[in-house]
Amino acid sequence: MIESRVRFRHLQTFLEVARQKSVVKAAGLLNVSQPAVTKTIRELEEALGVSVFERDGRGIKITRSGEVFMQHAGMAITALRQGIDSVANARAEGAPPIRIGALPTVSAHIMPRAMSLFLGEDTGATIKIVTGENAVLLEQLRLGELDLVVGRLAAPEKMTGFFFEHLYSEQVVFVVRAGHPLLKGDADVFERLGEFPLLMPTRGSIIRPFVERFFITNGVASIPTEIETVSDSFGRAFVRQSDAVWIISHGVVSDEIKAGTLKMLPVDTAETRGPVGLTMRTDTQPSAAFSILLKTIREAATERG
């Protein structure tokens, strides 16, 4: 039987190689030799009767059969981890840990209030929150390393195996320090934009395509000085001490805008507006604590608008 030949190490190795797209990188992260990884993948392919990876230039890429298997492998690893967590926490008389991936805008705008509400429920659950780009968080969700992602709705082709619950919509804004030259007089923002450093979302971020289309629509052909970043702490510090223009989701800087430490440029960015919400795997079976967490996130989103 195939299932009797496929072990945990096969699934773990397969998922790491799929994520890293490299046997060498996977071997390093798994603390095993490259030949050991290659042998494990070969054993898996022999058990399945199909190839799960194929050569792609100097690297490798996952096959169609591998993509199909990856979804189920991720669910299997998730189920096993949940079982281990449940046993460990049962002995500690606590609830299973809940792993959340949140975009920077959500981490700043929603999660602090959501966590305050959740702690008030006294569930005893351990919460782990990580921040990163939407694509990275969704991949971790697919592989079972996260239980929930709070962020923008991904493209349809990225949503296979997931479902999305809309919380609110948000748009991108152009912000600068108080007293910035572009705030003076009737300055044409797009004509003078090239005079200043621009902090841009990274090319892998979900809002980058919105920003690029927005620039094309407004006749901005090139950006002389561009810094890509997903670090909101760097963005805040750099903008406050320079004439840089920061292009960022409104939720990341909403408190600073209210306080007056950062100012929005008079740019109509309505076309960059997009849905933000909860993304979960379709096979998710929420525990009591997980259901309470979802409720508190919804409440926090409603309060912050």
Domain with residues 169-272, CATH architecture: 3-Layer(aba) Sandwich (3.40)
Residue with tokens 């002389």: 224
> Can you give the pLDDT at residue 59?
80
> Can you give the pLDDT at residue 1?
46
pTM above 0.85, yes or no: no
Contacts of 91 (CB under 8 A, 6+ apart): none
C-alpha to C-alpha distance for 97 and 75, rounded to whole angstroms: 17
> Can you give the pLDDT at residue 237?
93
> Can you give the pLDDT at residue 104?
81
> Can you give the pLDDT at residue 242?
94
At the top level of CATH, the class of 93-166+273-301 is: alpha beta
The span from the first CA to the last CA of the chain, in angstroms, equals 54
Task: List beta partners, residue 276.
Answer: 152, 168
> Can you give the pLDDT at residue 147?
94
- E strand spans, 229-289: 245-249, 262-264, 274-281
The percent of the chain in helix, strand and coil, each rounded to the nearest 5, is 50, 20, 30
Assign 176 to helix, strand or coil: strand
Same fold, 6-87 and 169-272: no
> Can you give the pLDDT at residue 4?
61
Task: List beta partners, residue 162.
Answer: 281
> Can you give the pLDDT at residue 272?
84
Q: Which residues of the chain fall short of a pLDDT of 50?
A: 1, 90-92
C-alpha to C-alpha distance for 114 and 217, rounded to whole angstroms: 37
C-alpha to C-alpha distance for 96 and 125, rounded to whole angstroms: 6
For the chain, the domains span: 6-87, 93-166+273-301, 169-272
Q: What is the CATH number of domain 6-87?
A: 1.10.10.10
